[in-house]
Every structure is written in C-alpha cells, then in structure tokens.
Amino acid sequence: MRLAMNYQMQQIDRKAIDEYGIPSIVLMENAGKVVVDEILKMRDQYQKVVIVCGPGNNGGDGFVIARHLYNLGVTVKVFVVGEISELNHDAMLNYSILKKLEFKIDEINDDSSMLAFERFLRPGNLIVDAIFGTGMSREVGGIYLRVIEAINEMAHQVLSVDLPSGIDGNTGHVLGTAIEADKTVALVIPKVGNILFPGSDYNGEVIIKGIGVPDIIIERVGIKYNLITKDIIAPLVPHRKRNSHKGDYGKGQIIAGSIGMAGAAILACRAALRSGMGLLKLYIPESLNTLITTSIPEVITVPLSEVRRGVIGITNFQKIIEDCCWPDVIAVGPGCGVNSEISELIKRLLNESEVPMVIDADGINALSKSLHWLENKKCPVVLTPHVGEMSRLTGLSAEEINGDPIGTAVRFSKQWKTVTVLKGARSVIATPEGEVFVNTNGNSGMATAGSGDVLTGVITSMIAQGLDPVGAAVLGVYLHGRAGDIMVAERGEHGLLAGDLVLGLTKAIRELVEA
C-alpha cells in the first residue's frame, strides 16, 4: 500500500479533478459517506455526534457527514471554528445545503461560543474532528488551539477525518498541539503522518477508506513510499518443495562474535536458520568455538586464529575472502567489537567480494569511519543501523534523524547506493532508487539487547534463499516485528528476550504460508 506526503495527495486530487473529470464536490461527498459508514459502526458507543469543522476541505467533509447522519436520524450538532465566511468553495456549498435543511450551525470564535461548545464535550457524545486534516503545516494557534485543547481535555470519544488536526501529514510531527483521536479514517491512502511517531500515537486506530479515486491516478503520481502490508510481503516468502535438500535453501556466511559478545553471533545464526536457510558457516575467533558449537550445533563453525584474545587476526583475511565463492550471502558485524581488524576486513570484503553483504552493529561502526569504502564496493550492501549508528554514519544528531527518518534513510541510500534499514519503532527501508518501505508491526518489548542481531540473521537468511536485498530487507523487517508481536501476546512486553523473537519467527512465517 502506498504512503503519501501532503503534496502527493494534492497531486492525486488535482489529477482526479482536472484530468479524469471527477468533480471535487463528488470526492468530498464520497469522503463524507465513507466516514459515516465508520460512525454508524460505532453507534452503540454514542448518543449524539458533534462535528467540528474547519474552513477547508476537511470541514467540507464534516458538513457532508452531518447531512448524511441527519438523514439517517442520528442526533447531530455542527460547529465551525472561526468565521463561516472563511469557508472554501466546496465547503461553503455543503454548508449551504445544510442551512437549506434548516440545520443549526454555530461558530466558535470567542469566549462565549467556546463555553457553548464545551457543553457538548460530555460523555456519550462522539466528537468528529474535521478541522484541518492534511491542510495544516504551521503551528496551531488562536481559537483553533483552544478548541483542540478543549477536545483533548474534555471529550471521551474522538474520530478524526483523514488526519488528526495538528499533525503534520509529511512527518508525523505535532504542530504545537493536536487532536488525540481514538480512531482516524484516512482517505484514499494513508499519509506519513498517520504512520510515523509521534503522530501515530494521536491517530488511534487507523481505518483506510477509498473515495472513488482510480488506482491508476495514484500510480501516475509516482509515489515511492510504501506501507508494508501482508499483500506486499506474502509473495516474498521463499517457496519450499517437497523434493528438496539443504542446498536448495541457500548458503550463508556470518562473521560475528568476540569475547563477551558471543551471544550476538548465536542469535544471528539461530535467526538465520529458523528463517529457513539451508547451510550456515560462522566465522569466529577460535577461543569462542567450544561455546558456539555447544550452543548451536546446527552451525558449521570456522574457528580462526586470533591476533589477541577474541579478535580475528588479519592473517585470516585471505581465507575469508577465498571462501566468499561458497556462500550466497555474507553478514558481518554482530558482536565483532570495535577494532582495526574488523575495519580492514570490511574494506577487503567490499573491494573483493561480489556476494551480497549485510552489515550490522560493529560492522557499521567500523564503516562509519571510512564511508568512502562504499564507493568501490563490488557487491550489493544492506546496512541495518539503529538511530545511534545512523548518527555515526551521517553526522546527524539523533534528534535530526528521528525528526525525518524517511528523508535520512533515502538520502543515505541514494548517496551510497545501499539498501538501508533504519531500525526503530517504525523501521524504514530505503533503496538506492529512493523507494521506501515503512513497517508498523513490532512493540516496545523488542527494545532489548540482541534484537538487532536477530534481524540481521533473518535478512541474511532471506538473501540466501534467493530474495534480492530489497525484498529480503522488507520481508525480514516484517517477520522480525511480527515475531515480536506473537511472543508479546504470549509473554508480555516486560522482559521479552531476543531469543524469544527467534522462537516467534517460525510462527510468523507459518502465518504467511498458511494465509
């Protein structure tokens, strides 16, 4: 499913109206009707519907909603924030229809009208927020600020039309204040502000409804942002044949682990195998070999001599490079530690290997000091940074990255020609071509040590099984989040372990296979 910025929604509307001849008033009528459908589903939850309209198209949708509910016998009250004379053309047209029905509509523009409005913010009334939608790009102020704050403080049930008023549709930022909705009916396709935090917390449950805009118009706008949904990822799950052997499901090479961080290697390997990889070699410092082989006997270990305890020596690099002709994918970084040896190894792998690489954790930390190595890479690269690692890669602050995660990931991927998985509460996958995929599953229980190592293993496994790096990243991120949701349902968010995610992977994959 596509995910839009505000200007892209404006392009969609303009094409529908100007090129396909769908009158804007028809789109407004359809928008109002689909919101009414959702309101009627909630009928046992309210006695009266109070619709709060702004001056633009969102307010026009509100007038349509009021008319249809009125015709159905629902008790409705309508307020206009500001002056009725400020309504745009289509909103004014629908306002005029209501007036001809002798429908009483009140303005909210001073202290006395605010007091009159607040009397309707009582339990038993459903408040419909049709104030701004995607039409807001500046800080909320004046009477609008007072109205939104009153709704948040006093209302018990709120439904927003398209986007909670006060949320920036391009970023999910709160523009000073915003409606705290229980449900949001997103029109045509979801906006970035419906999905990214902190806006996502203000949307409540998001319901996506079409309003008669043909799919071809959405495609013609050329939107490159996508919401990861089952219809996108289900076809990506590698097919397994009854008559097959381990070699049919890919061979992987993981370089991971050091003293004190052997667990990262174990988690990555377990996740790779639980995700369906057929054969896996783990390259580790020789002092970890006994621990690894007893912890995960399914892995082929390649113990390497150490330059010092727990650190692979440079003399091993030629063997690692020569072995690159064996696997379908190489992953490097989980638990490797920060040292000059891992930096040199990554440099050589990028320059000499043509096998797809997944670089995570300490591999990213090493690469951040010498990003120019990516200019001469011979292989496709997937990077999986969290915000702190992305900060080291880009020089941006964590605040800047969190303020624009999509833009940050896209700019980096375009510049360095990598697939970038920016991990977070809403993980973002960006491609060198500027395509973006945003994931919405997962939970706070996954904010635990080792969770990223599990994701590295899953993505590595999917590349080994034949997916291209983009498909592997998209499917891997979804499965990782879904595994977290499955295990949280069983065990709760407090105390969830990364090892629990590995157990959830098989269930997440089975869901997709059996769907």
Where is the binding site for (6S)-NADPHX, in residues?
A: 57-61, 133-139, 144, 162, 264, 335, 386, 453
CA distance linking residue 298 with residue 115, whole number of Å: 70
Structure tokens, 98: 């209501």
61 in Cβ contact with 35 (< 8 Å): yes
Please give the backbone phi and psi of residue 205, each rounded to the nearest 5 degrees, phi first.
Answer: -70, 130
Distance CA 1, CA 4 (A): 10
Known binding-site positions:
57-61, 129, 133-139, 144, 162, 165, 264, 335, 386, 423-427, 452-453
Q: Give the residues across from 167 on adjacent strands.
A: 174
Q: How many CA atoms lie within 13 A of 244 on its CB side?
A: 13
Which H/E stretch holds residue 326?
none
How far apart, in whole angstroms, are the C-alpha atoms of residue 111 and residue 251?
71
Amino acid at 496: L
> How many CA atoms does the CB half-sphere of 317 hold within 13 Å?
19
Please give the single-letter amino acid code of residue 55. P
Give dist(CA 497, CA 487) in Å, integer. 10
Residues that constitute the known binding site for K(+): 58, 129, 165
Token pair 């109205």 is found at 147
Which structure tokens are listed for 9? 């929604």
CA dihedral 131, 134, 136, 141 (to 10 degrees): 30
Strands 205-209 and 306-308: unpaired
Q: How distant is the alpha carbon of residue 102 from its chain centre?
A: 46
Half-sphere CA count of 441, side-chain side, radius 13 A? 21
Q: How far is CA 260 from CA 265, 287, 309, 401, 452, in A?
A: 11, 11, 11, 30, 17
Q: What is the DSSP letter of 15?
A: I
In this structure, what is the dihedral angle of CA atoms 285, 286, 287, 290, given to the nearest 10 degrees? 120
**Burial of 505 per CB tally in 10 Å (0-12, 13-18, 19+):** buried
Question: In the structure encoding, which two tokens stand for residue 274, read together?
Answer: 């639980």
Query: What are 441-445's contacts with CB under 8 Å, separation 24+?
Result: 441/478, 441/481, 441/482, 441/484, 441/485, 442/480, 442/481, 442/482, 442/484, 442/485, 443/481, 443/484, 443/485, 443/488, 443/493, 444/493, 445/484, 445/487, 445/488, 445/492, 445/493, 445/494, 445/495, 445/496
DSSP-derived letter for residue 271 is H
In sequence order, the β-bridge partners of residue 206 are 184
Binding-site annotation: residue ranges for AMP: 423-427, 452
Q: Is 147 helix (H, G, I), strand (E, B) or coil?
A: helix
**Residues 6+ away with beta carbon under 8 Å from 274:** 457, 502, 503, 505, 506
